[in-house]
Amino acid sequence: MGREIKVMIVDDSAVVRKVMSAILDRDPGIRVIGTAHDPIFAIEKMRREWPDVLTLDIEMPRMDGITFLGQLMQERPTPVVICSSLTTAGAETTLQALAAGAVSIITKPGLGVGNFLQDSSDNLVAAVKAAARANMGAVQRGARAPTLATAPPMPRLAMAQTTERLVAIGTSTGGTVALETLLTVLPRVSPGIVIVQHMPEMFTAAFAARLDGLCEISVQEAKHGQRVLPGLALIAPGGKHMQLARSGAQYVVEVKEGPPVNRHRPSVDVLFRSVAKFAGKNAMGVIMTGMGDDGARGLKEMHDAGAYTLAQDEATCVVYGMPKEAVKLGAVDRSLPLQALAAAILNGAGNSRPRQE
């Protein structure tokens, strides 16, 4: 299926370099062309043979990963998978790397790195393959948050009547920057929003806090039993599933343990199916950039239950996987550029399925 993916591993840990090299080289579609213990040594090797994908640590000698990433995106944009320590303290730095243009995260603990990476080998291979397919034009555009200056004005009075309507969003690879682009232009009067972003545990709280500081709406990591409210976006905690439920006339979220679904926990399908069941035509579904098909079948269930459904279009996706599969299933009412999703959400929030022009 095409040529092999050339990978460069940049990490100051010899153990990490050795284990990651062994895991990736086992896949017939991947070839590790080199390793380096710091970015300066890496760039010397890369100039001799440029990789298709770079795996990059953050804390390294001579030059940190964030600085290197910034230079790389300016000089020769290349898909980057961040290999970051699984710590709360490092979460904000890792999110800065994603905002700067990295495609996704692979986590590693402080101890037992070798065993951890072996246990997570499937995720590592999948992340590299997703990065190799990344639309770097979309990655670069996503670093510049657009505005709704060219969108028609939104009727604020009408939005106040959508209290028990909600928007369910699912995304994966490239989704952190895409969500920032989308959520930062939504007004405080937006409908309640529930989100699954494929992300490891320990990172979603920092991600929510980062968005909360940038957005007019409130953004929080979801807690079990929390009510879905207008002007509030709830992000599923990493490592747990999030479902919609009803408490009387109100929508609440349930945060639960459980096995991975479509290899993910949280899973977009888990959220979307619960939204189809409990909200039906009072909901809107949005599927965004990401590899694989998680969320496609759940969005179809939402669509069949009367919800209005949107997909991010191919041109603006970092990886056009999840939206593509949803479109194939007939789950999508409209495919739109990332920059148009906010206006569509606001225009459609008061209607189960707005008439298209």
Catalytic residue ranges: 172, 198, 294
Q: What type of residue sits at position 141?
A: R
Token pair recorded at residue 54: 């770079």
- Contact call for residues 309 and 278 (beta carbons, < 8 A): no
List, in sequence order, every beta strand (DSSP E) within the chain: 5-10, 30-36, 53-56, 80-85, 104-108, 166-171, 192-197, 218-221, 232-235, 241-247, 250-256, 283-287, 308-312, 334-336
Sign of the dihedral through C-alpha 248, 251, 255, 258: positive
Backbone angles phi, psi at 109, to 5 degrees: -80, 170
| Integer Cα distance of 263 and 248 in angstroms | 33
| Integer Cα distance of 100 and 123 in angstroms | 22
Sign of the dihedral through C-alpha 272, 275, 277, 280: negative
Distance separating the N- and C-terminal Cα atoms of the chain: 40
| Integer Cα distance of 100 and 98 in angstroms | 5
| Integer Cα distance of 244 and 259 in angstroms | 18
Q: Is residue 355 packed enough to be buried (19+ CB in 10 Å), middle (13-18) or exposed (0-12)?
A: exposed
Q: 240, 234, 105: which is closest to 177 by C-alpha? A: 105
Strand, coil or helix: 181? helix
- Render 86-146 in DSSP notation, one character per residue: S-STTHHHHHHHHHTT--EEEEE-SS-HHHHHHHTHHHHHHHHHHHHT--HHHHHHHTS--
Phi-psi map region of 194: left, alpha, beta (phi>0 left; psi -120 to 50 alpha): beta
